[in-house]
């Protein structure tokens, strides 16, 4: 059997993703009961970080420890990748020593090349194009708090970035409608939009996009690597801040999500994270449980 990788949500089918979410909720309940469950005893996850992280590192490392295994943190300073060793060579070497590799980097082609030469599962912890692990946590959070997202309406507000791309994939796989509200010039990849068809609809007005919606989510206006564009982006996105008043236009049972870190006073108002409709910190915790379900699926 070929090695399974998780580079985008589309590497799994809808049934597998739903299975993962159900298992993530079971693992969360087990964790709350302090049950000892160690299916990955003596297994090791290699973690390559070319982009810094809080939630990705802690959730994967804690998950492996709770499963009885271990994780090795590798920054560019810690590996020969930082000194020009070919990705293909590093992939061959690491996959002979660890049981899976998680990569958080810039260029999505890097994880694709690594996976092509790896004999163990490779997990995309984030690239400039996709953030599938975050979407697992987002979907788990909605399922946990509101039930199945099928036929619901989710709204992405802001840049057509890696999170937006992953929401487009999620809309197809979990069978929900996606509204994307963004300024002109910041729309997501045209090919992805065309493939999604009428499942995804673009808006230039955040207020129009959120009418009657069930899930509202956003991200920082300038991601890592876009710091030089921050000033212009603040001007371009000024009308796209998520506030309690904007949430009032959505369905009464709507929830708000944010992948964090958040810039209060920019993409969200100062009080949005404390609004009762915000599930952001449950969402952040669910990174741990969703990724444990993913690791269990890939390694057992």
Report the binding-site residues for carbamoyl phosphate: 53-56, 80, 104, 131-134, 259-260, 287
Token pair recorded at residue 148: 């199945």
233 is catalytic: no
Given 66, 99, 258, 259, which residue is catalytic?
259
Round to whole Å and give the CA distance between 28 and 34: 10
Round to whole Å and give the CA distance between 244 and 264: 13
Given 23, 108, 214, 287, which residue is catalytic?
287
Mapped onto helix, strand or coil, the DSSP state of residue 23 is helix
131 is catalytic: yes
Given 134, 140, 241, 283, which residue is catalytic?
134
Asked if 125 and 60 count as a contact pair (C-beta separation under 8 A), the reply is yes
Annotated binding site: 53-56, 80, 104, 131-134, 162, 219, 223-224, 259-260, 287
271 is catalytic: no
92 is catalytic: no
287 is catalytic: yes
219 is catalytic: yes
Round to whole Å and give the CA distance between 193 and 300: 35
Bridge partner residues of 72 (DSSP): 46
Given 5, 23, 43, 104, which residue is catalytic?
104
Given 129, 219, 233, 241, which residue is catalytic?
219
Annotated binding site for L-ornithine: 162, 219, 223-224
Given 23, 43, 131, 289, which residue is catalytic?
131
User: 3-state SS string over 45-78?
Assistant: EEEEECCCCCHHHHHHHHHHHHCCCEEEEECCCC
Residues with catalytic roles: 104, 131, 134, 219, 259, 287
């Amino acid at each position: 059997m070929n090695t399974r990788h998780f580079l985008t949500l589309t590497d799994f089918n809808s049934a597998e993703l739903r299975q993962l979410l159900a298992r993530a909720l079971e693992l969360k309940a087990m964790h709350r009961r302090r049950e000892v469950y160690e299916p990955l005893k003596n297994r090791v996850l290699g973690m390559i970080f070319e982009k810094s992280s809080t939630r990705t590192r802690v959730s994967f490392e804690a998950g492996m420890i709770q499963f009885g295994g271990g994780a090795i943190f590798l920054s560019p300073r810690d590996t020969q990748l930082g000194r020009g060793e070919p990705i293909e060579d590093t992939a061959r070497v690491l996959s002979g020593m660890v049981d899976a590799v998680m990569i958080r980097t810039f260029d999505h082609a890097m994880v694709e090349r690594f996976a092509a030469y790896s004999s163990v599962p490779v997990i995309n912890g984030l690239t400039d194009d996709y953030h599938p692990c975050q979407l697992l946590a987002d979907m788990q959070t909605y399922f946990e708090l509101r039930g199945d997202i099928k036929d619901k309406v989710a709204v992405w507000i802001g840049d057509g970035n890696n999170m937006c791309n992953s929401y487009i994939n999620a809309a197809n796989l979990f069978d929900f409608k996606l509204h994307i509200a963004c300024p002109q010039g910041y729309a997501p990849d045209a090919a992805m939009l065309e493939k999604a068809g009428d499942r995804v609809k673009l808006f230039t007005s955040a207020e129009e996009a959120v009418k009657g919606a069930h899930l509202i989510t956003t991200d920082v206006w300038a991601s890592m690597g876009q710091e030089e564009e921050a000033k212009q982006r603040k001007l371009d996105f000024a009308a796209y801040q998520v506030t309690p008043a904007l949430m009032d236009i959505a369905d009464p049972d709507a929830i708000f999500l944010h992948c964090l870190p958040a810039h209060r006073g920019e993409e969200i108002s100062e009080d949005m994270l404390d609004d009762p409709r915000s599930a952001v910190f449950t969402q952040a915790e669910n990174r741990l449980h969703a990724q444990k379900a993913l690791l269990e699926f890939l390694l057992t």
